Structure formats: C-alpha cells, structure tokens
A and B are shown apart, each in its own frame.
Chain A
Amino acid sequence: MDIEFIRENIPFYVEAAFLTARLALIGILLSAGIGFVCCIIRELRIPVLRQITAVYIELSRNTPLLVQLFFLYFGLPRIGIVLSSEACAIIGLAFLGGSYMAEAFRSGLEAVPQIQTEAGMSLGMKRMQIFFHIILPQAVATSVPVFCANVIFLIKETSVFSAVALTDLVFVAKDLIGISYRTDEALLMLVAAYLLLLLPVSVLCSFIERRVRYAEFGNTGIVSGN
C-alpha cells in the first residue's frame, strides 16, 4: 500500500465523485418527475397516454441500463441524433429510473384503502379532489421506503457510465490500474469513494423510513412481523 500514491490521486477521485453525484442527482430528480407523471396518468386512466406509459414502463424495467446507454450513445448518432455522453447518461438514468419510480408511487397508491376514496365521495368531493387531497398525501408517505431504495439503486447504476466515456469513479480506477499497475490502491480508493458516497444516503434513507412509519399509523391493516 503506497500512501503517497493514494494522496496524489485523490483529487481525480474527488472530481469523479462529484461528476457521479451530479449526474445521479439530476437523473434521480428527472426519474422522480417521470415516475410521478406516469403514475398519475395510470391512476386517472387517461386513454392512449396510459398505454404509452405501460409500454414505456415494461421496456425500461426489462432492459439493462448498459444496453440502453449503448443504444443512446452509439446507436442513435447513426440515424442523426448525436448526444453528448453526459446527456446520454442523464437520459439513460432517467429512462431507467422513471419506471422504477412509477412503480414505487403505484405501490403507495395501492396501499391506500378503498374506504378513503369512498369517504371522500360521500363528502361530495370530485375525483380530482379526492386524488390530490386524500389519496396522494397518504400514498407518498407509504412509497417513501421504495423511493429510497430506488435512489440507492440508481446511484449504484451510475457505475456503468464509464462505458459511454464519462470519467466517473470506475473510469478513473480503471485508468489508474492501466497507467500505474497499482491495482490495490486504485481499487481501495474506488471502494472507499462509493462507501463515502452511498453510506450517508443509506443512513439518511433508513432514518426517513423510520420517521415515515408514523404516517402509516392506524392506516394499514397489514401487521408487520407476525
């Protein structure tokens, strides 16, 4: 283990970590947006759009991000659509994440009991009012754990970005191995970088999850454990 070598190369990793974090953040925000829109389209049963979102969700859930990125980065320029690697990465991540987020929100919506809708109707509320004032707030609360899991999943998925020539953490590590043959140091820093990036997110997620469990109080009939 060569401490000096590690110290010299830390700046590369820091830069790469910021790139990963930035792309992941944009990608996650976009996918949350896409997921939300898809979920609302499905819930309100808007014709045509509903079928399109169903196809989109199945396509994106059943294909790997790496293949999606290759298609965006190498395939599309051949028919005249040229995207920068950053744009590819963000679009790819949002395309993948959108469907996962949509599923997260949907599971939240499904967990809200029918009786809530009926109560709203008997109060004379409109369909839209019931959805936005009664169902949605409860659904958001219950879908938070899945949402958090998706955030971690998406940050992890960014590790394939090196395949479309982005200098992310994996790219830097691979480069260092190639240049200096210092496999140990390069890999150690790679692992450390991902730990530093993901541990806080993971801790934050379990904290939020615990807080949110109060929101379910008295709502779910399902008893956890036995």
Chain B
Amino acid sequence: MQNLGIQVLFQGTNFLRLLEGLWVSLRLAVVSMALSIVLGIFLGMLMNSKRKWVKAVCRIYLEIVRIMPQLVLLFLVYFGAAKHLGINLSGEVSAVLVFTFWGTAEMGDLVRSALISIPKHQYESGYALGMTEKQVFFRIIIPQTIRRLLPSMMNLLTRMIKTTSLVVLIGVVEVVKVGKQMIDASRFTTPSAAFWVYGMIFLLYFAVCFPFSRAAAVLERKLRD
C-alpha cells in the first residue's frame, strides 16, 4: 500500500485539479505583477524626484513594505477591511491589493536604481545633439533602463509567484488547498497521499519558477559583458 501512494495524483482528474489550483495562484501573481510594473515605474520616477518630501514619503512607504511580512499585510486587509470599510473583500481581491502594494514598492526601488545607474553623460550627449527632454528620456534613457531592469524584474516575478502561496492562509482555494482536499479525500484509502501531493506541489512550483530565474541569470550575465 505504502508505495502506491503516488497513484493519488493520477486518480480521476486529480492532476488536472492541482494544475487548476496552481493557475489560481499564478493568475494572482500575474495580475499583481502587471499592476506593480505600471505603478512601480511611476513610483521609481517619483523616488528620483528633487523634492525632499516626495522622496521622504516614498522612502517611508518602501520601508513599511520592506519590514512588514506580506502575511501580516494580507491579514490587515483581509480582516481589517471587512470591519472598517464595511466591504467584504474576497481573499483573491485582498491578495491582489496586498501583492500590488508590495510589488509596487519593490518595483519602484528597482526602477529608481536602474534610473540612477544611467550615467549623466547619456543625458548630456542627448541634449548636445539637440534632442528635447522628452526625446532624451524615451529614446536614450528608457531603452537602457529596460535592459538593466529585465533580470531583476524576472526575479521579482518569481518572488511574487512564491509569495502568492500565502493566500491559502486567508482561504483562497489554490493549489495547496486543492492538495489538502485530495489528501483528506483519500485519508483512508492511501495514507501516504500527503507525501506525494505536497511533493508534487513542491515540484510544480519549482517547474514554474525555475525557467524565470534561469532566464534572469542568463540575462544578467549577458548584460555584464
């Protein structure tokens, strides 16, 4: 009986259900990432603002996000919003809110450091060629910034995917929850199901994140040369 536990994964539509569960977390990650990229670019530009108070506000925002565990933020939104704002946010909506809040800060910091890593003479040569400020920004600075941003953005995406696994703790039915259901359903027929199901989820996460982190590493090496 013991070594037949792996069958649980392939009984009926079990494997398909796991993949569907994984898709739920991936969708959350992708939506939050897309929002974070857009908002993060603006934040990154704000962070380089010359105004002191704008910088200070951004700094505080970033520090808060850096210090608070994402799970705590999730709890704040999920349990707090229902009470104070009187709206009953579903787990998925609060997850997108929290991960966007977090991702925007991280993305903003990446954009900020990418922007200041562009040497000043790039701007100056642009102006010397008679380009307008807009032209310099869009034709010279942005293309170089994107090149520098890509690897760290991919790393952020894998972090986002990994962090979305937390949503099971606020009651979203995703891959871990589906796995739990499977284990409970086969508690008496295959006691060793937990090993195989959690092992499979582990490998599934790996299969999703590995290509991105590999690609990030390759891009990073390419950039250096």
Flag B177-214 by CB within 8 Å of A: 1 or 0 each: 00000010000000111111111011001100110010
Judging by beta carbons under 8 Å apart, are B206 and A75 in contact? no
What are 20 of the A-B contact pairs (CB < 8 Å)?
A: A58-B210, A63-B205, A65-B162, A66-B165, A66-B169, A71-B195, A71-B198, A75-B195, A78-B194, A79-B195, A152-B66, A152-B67, A156-B68, A158-B69, A163-B169, A170-B72, A187-B76, A194-B69, A202-B67, A226-B120
Q: Does B50 contact A (CB under 8 A)?
A: no
A169 to B70, CA, bound (A): 13
Least distance between B103 CB and chain A CB atoms (Å): 15
Judging by beta carbons under 8 Å apart, are A67 and B195 in contact? no
B-chain residues with CB within 8 Å of residue A194 when the two chains form the complex? 67-69, 72
Interface residue ranges, B against A (CB under 8 Å): 2, 5, 63, 66-72, 75-76, 79-80, 83, 116-120, 158, 162-163, 165-166, 168-169, 176, 183, 191-199, 201-202, 205-206, 209-210, 213
Which of A62, A65, A177, A194 gathers most chain B CB within 10 Å?
A62
A-chain residues with CB within 8 Å of residue B2 when the two chains form the complex? 79
B-chain residues with CB within 8 Å of residue A183 when the two chains form the complex? 79-80, 83
How many contacts between A and B, using CB within 8 angstroms? 118
Q: Does A121 contact B (CB under 8 A)?
A: no
Least distance between A169 CB and chain B CB atoms (Å): 8
Cross-interface CB contact of A62 among B158, B176, B195, B197, cutoff 8 Å: B158
Which of A78, A170, A198 gathers most chain B CB within 10 Å?
A78
A177 to B69, CA, bound (A): 19
Q: Does A83 contact B (CB under 8 A)?
A: no
Given A183-B79, A226-B120, are A78 and B67 neighbors across the interface (CB < 8 Å)? no
Judging by beta carbons under 8 Å apart, are B176 and A74 in contact? no
Say which size band chain A's interface belongs to: 35 or more
Q: Does A118 contact B (CB under 8 A)?
A: no
A187 to B81, CA, bound (A): 12
